[in-house]
Structure 1
Amino acid sequence: MTGHQGFGVIERTSWRKRAARLFGQWGVFFRGFVEEPRMVGSIIPSSRFTIRKMLAPVDWERCEVFVEYGPGVGTFCQPVLDRLRRDGTLIVIDTNPLYIDYLKKHFTDSRFHAVHGSAADVVDIVEAHGHDGADYVLSGLPFSTLPDGVGPAIAKSTYDVIRPGGAFLVYQFSAKAREFMARHFKRIDSGFEFWNVLPCQLFWGWKDRED
């Protein structure tokens, strides 16, 4: 086998691995959507534009604990880990064991913890990991389609777990989440990201230090 032929084989093998990983990820994401459509915000993962804009206001130097609800196949996980302090903690919570199993296999960073459970139990989950609160909580959960009572419970628990100076980061296709947030967060910044499928509403509910 010549050098050029060897390079071609390696290139094709690498491409196949990347393709298998990509389609495997999409397959898991789509299966999770089919199993629990009311708990998954979108059939397509968020765009890099949404990720960048959503995470922009985070003060990463002071962020010790970052929590995400409904991580799916981890679209936000690596971007968060790339920005998070070396001594920080990322806790992701999902009700679908399919997603949790996938995430545990694909993220080996010691700062990463995937939990099968409800976002409404975030206070207990964070405490179980040795922390008295979280600095930021990110959510892509579809508040408009969650079962009755779940949205308000999640909003309250989130406010309770966030430390003063932190924020609840929410991206949605509708403004329904803002209604639940406004019951607890006095200051809510809003944004919009067109380059996403579908275009989405962005909200940052701040827990000011005097609250």
Structure 2
Amino acid sequence: MNDHLGYLRRFVASPGQIGSIAPSSPFLTRAMLRGVDWGGMCTLVELGAGTGVFTAAIEAARLPESRFLVFEKEAGLRTKLQSRFATAELHSDAAMLRELVGDGGADCVISGLPFANFRPALRRSLLRDIRAALRPGGIFVAFQYSLQMRGELRGRFDEMDLELVLRNVPPAVVYRCRNRVAPECDPLPVALPGEPLAAGRPDERQPLAMRSPRQGG
């Protein structure tokens, strides 16, 4: 109960950074880690670790010899995470990702960042760095509370699939993205006029539970 009240207080204080009124559920946690080949993960990254719900699950699943970088902006949360996960590398700024792992140096990036709440230029800069940091075939997993990010992620990654998690407060969409080969250049500039990618592409499929009756199957 205290954890939930603390989370609610942080949300009220900084809704643009926290993005939700409650910690992620076990159902969302399992969905976020589904599809990760832990035996092949040498360098893992978590962005926006918060209270450590995903962090604990990653710590339990990863190889003991793997490198685990955890990013959390709030100093108090970061201190608690470091005391709980002594073998993880704790950092404050996700903008340091490429500097710390190098291009193509990450096998997996798992994100709890509320991308839809960020300024467009910041969001695109972070996604550009995530894409560059992933090795060919590496996996990027993120959750959001809408389909707003669908088009932007589809424009950057070669493969993307969605999973709707209803047993979470609020219900969430998990995005799993991969690149087949290393990018030669970023396909989208950091700043674009307007938000033309927010609605996604008309040929993309979305979770059945989120389609309107007119969309059909």
TM-score, normalised to structure 2's length? 0.77
**Corresponding residue SS for 2:27:** helix
| Equivalence map 1:191-206=2 (5 Å) | 191-206=163-178
Aligned twin of 1:42: 20
1:188 aligns with 2:188: no
Counterpart of 2:65, as a letter, is D
Identical counterparts, % of pairs: 28
CA contact (8 A) 2:104 2:132 kept: no
Question: Which runs of 5 or more residues in structure 2 are unaligned?
Answer: 184-217
Tell me how large the CA RMSD over aligned residues is: 1.9
Between the aligned partners of 1:181 and 1:73, the Cα distance in structure 2 is: 26
Counterpart for residue 123 of structure 1: 98
Q: Cα distance, 1:40 vs. partner?
A: 1.4
Inter-partner Cα distance in structure 1 for 2:28 and 2:181: 27
The correspondence for 1:141, drawn from 103, 109, 113, is: 113
Q: How far did residue 28 of structure 1 move?
A: 4.3
For 1:90 and 1:42, how far apart are their aligned partners in 2? 25
How far apart are residue 55 of structure 1 and its match?
Answer: 0.7
Matched residue, 2:4: 26
The CA deviation string for residues 136-193 of structure 1, in whole angstroms up to 9 with x for no partner, is: 1111211221123111111100000001111110111011222332231021011111
Mapping 1:30-179, distance limit 5 Å? 30-108=8-86, 110=87, 112-117=88-93, 119-127=94-102, 133-179=105-151
**Structure 1 letter corresponding to 2:129:** S
| Alpha-carbon distance between aligned partners in 2 of 1:132 and 1:105, rounded to the nearest angstrom | 29
Q: Is the 8 A contact 1:136 1:168 kept in 2?
A: yes
Q: What is the CA–CA distance in structure 1 between the aligned matches of 2:149 and 2:97, rounded to whole Å? A: 17
AA matched with 1:115: H
In our comparison, the structure showing a higher alpha carbon Rg is 1
With normalisation by structure 1, the TM-score equals: 0.80
- The count of aligned residue pairs is 183
User: Alpha carbons of 1:144 and 1:210: their partners in 2 closer, same or farther (altered >3 Å)?
Assistant: closer
Higher normalized helix content (fraction of residues) = 1
Cα deviation for residue 106 of structure 1 reads: 2.3
User: Match for 1:123: what amino acid?
Assistant: R
SS of structure 1 residue aligned to 2:101: helix
